[in-house]
């Protein structure tokens, strides 16, 4: 049986088909590389928990707390003494800054106007990658962070000042520890905070051991 189509048309199409197949192969290789680069690290287990310290000055006692609707594992920190506005916010552990900017909107709450318009989201915030899939984040800071993306920070290094930007009622630090994509119970100096759920109001006092290393 014959289709009646001239053979010339087929030979004309062939180089085009080969290019298509080569392109398809390249796309397949790129996809496999993408899987290797993106998915394989995602499947790798997290490293051991770093010895996180509280994100506030050595020796200070702060109230750690949560409330209904906050979100499981999230911690709000308020100083038990002294002015909250502008207090140093410190890196919990050494790492690399991956976010330093604005989440949501800043709003207008300042030391001069503490009841100013409320912003949205986290306001001025910082996220630090500690390696082994561990991350910490610090929200509602007063001013643009003192660090920038890509910067390496040491444990205890100041990354910003405590404030009330974003969706914040009063000056405080909202703080999270993450393993992979999951929030986990915050640990400080090797001890769990006890803040695991937001089903009720809960507070606990802890004293910071984020102290300069003794050489
Ligand atoms: Zn919070």
First to last CA, the chain: 90
Please give the pLDDT value at position 71: 93
Could you tell me the distance, in angstroms and rounded to a whole number, from the CA of residue 150 to the centre of ligand 1? 25
Contact 81, 61 (CB under 8 A): yes
Q: Which residue has the tokens 């759920």?
A: 197
Q: Residue 83 gets which letter from DSSP?
A: -
Q: Note the Cα 210 to chain centre separation in Å.
A: 20
| Nearest residue to 125 via CA among 112, 109, 136 | 136
Burial of 4 (0-12, 13-18, 19+ CB in 10 A): exposed
- Phi/psi for 103 (5° steps) reads -110, 125
Could you tell me the distance, in angstroms and rounded to a whole number, from the CA of residue 1 to the centre of ligand 1? 77
HSE value, Cβ hemisphere, 13 Å, CA-based, for 42: 8
Could you tell me the distance, in angstroms and rounded to a whole number, from the CA of residue 70 to the centre of ligand 1? 6
SS3 193: coil
Could you tell me the distance, in angstroms and rounded to a whole number, from the CA of residue 74 to the centre of ligand 1? 6
Could you tell me the distance, in angstroms and rounded to a whole number, from the CA of residue 168 to the centre of ligand 1? 8
Written as six digits, the tokens of 58 are 């050595």
SS3 28: helix
Instruction: Write the pLDDT tens digit of every residue in 105-118.
Output: 999 999 999 999 99
Please give the pLDDT value at position 54: 98
Taking residue 6's Cβ as centre, other Cβ atoms within 10 Å add up to 9
What would the mean pLDDT of 140-159 be, rounded to a whole number?
A: 98
Instruction: Write the pLDDT tens digit of every residue in 88-97.
Output: 999 999 999 9
Please give the pLDDT value at position 44: 83
Could you tell me the distance, in angstroms and rounded to a whole number, from the CA of residue 170 to the centre of ligand 1? 10
pTM exceeding the 0.85 threshold for the entire prediction: no
Could you tell me the distance, in angstroms and rounded to a whole number, from the CA of residue 17 to the centre of ligand 1? 58
Instruction: Write the pLDDT tens digit of every residue in 5-62.
Output: 555 555 555 556 888 899 999 999 999 998 888 887 777 889 999 999 999 999 999 9
| Nearest residue to 204 via CA among 105, 106, 64, 74 | 64
Could you tell me the distance, in angstroms and rounded to a whole number, from the CA of residue 176 to the centre of ligand 1? 9
**Confidence check: pLDDT of 4 > 80:** no
Burial of 144 (0-12, 13-18, 19+ CB in 10 A): middle
């Amino acid at each position: 049986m014959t289709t009646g189509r001239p053979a010339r048309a087929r030979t004309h199409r062939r180089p085009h088909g080969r290019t298509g197949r080569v392109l398809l192969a390249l796309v397949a290789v790129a996809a496999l590389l993408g899987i290797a680069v993106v998915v394989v690290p995602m499947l790798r287990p997290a490293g051991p928990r770093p010895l996180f310290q509280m994100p506030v000055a050595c020796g200070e006692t702060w109230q750690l707390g949560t409330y209904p609707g906050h979100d499981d594992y999230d911690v709000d920190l308020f100083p038990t003494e002294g002015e909250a506005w502008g207090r140093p916010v410190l890196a919990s552990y050494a790492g690399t800054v991956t976010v330093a900017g604005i989440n949501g909107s800043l709003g207008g709450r300042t030391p001069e106007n503490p009841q100013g318009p409320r912003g949205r989201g986290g306001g001025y915030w910082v996220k630090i990658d500690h390696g082994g899939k561990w991350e910490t984040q610090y929200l509602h800071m007063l001013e643009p962070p003192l660090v920038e993306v890509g910067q390496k920070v040491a444990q205890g290094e100041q990354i910003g000042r405590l404030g009330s930007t974003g969706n914040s009622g009063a000056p405080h630090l909202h703080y999270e520890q993450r393993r992979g994509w999951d929030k986990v119970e915050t640990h400080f100096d090797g001890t769990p905070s006890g803040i695991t759920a937001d089903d009720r109001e809960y507070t606990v006092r802890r004293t910071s051991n984020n102290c300069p290393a003794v050489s």
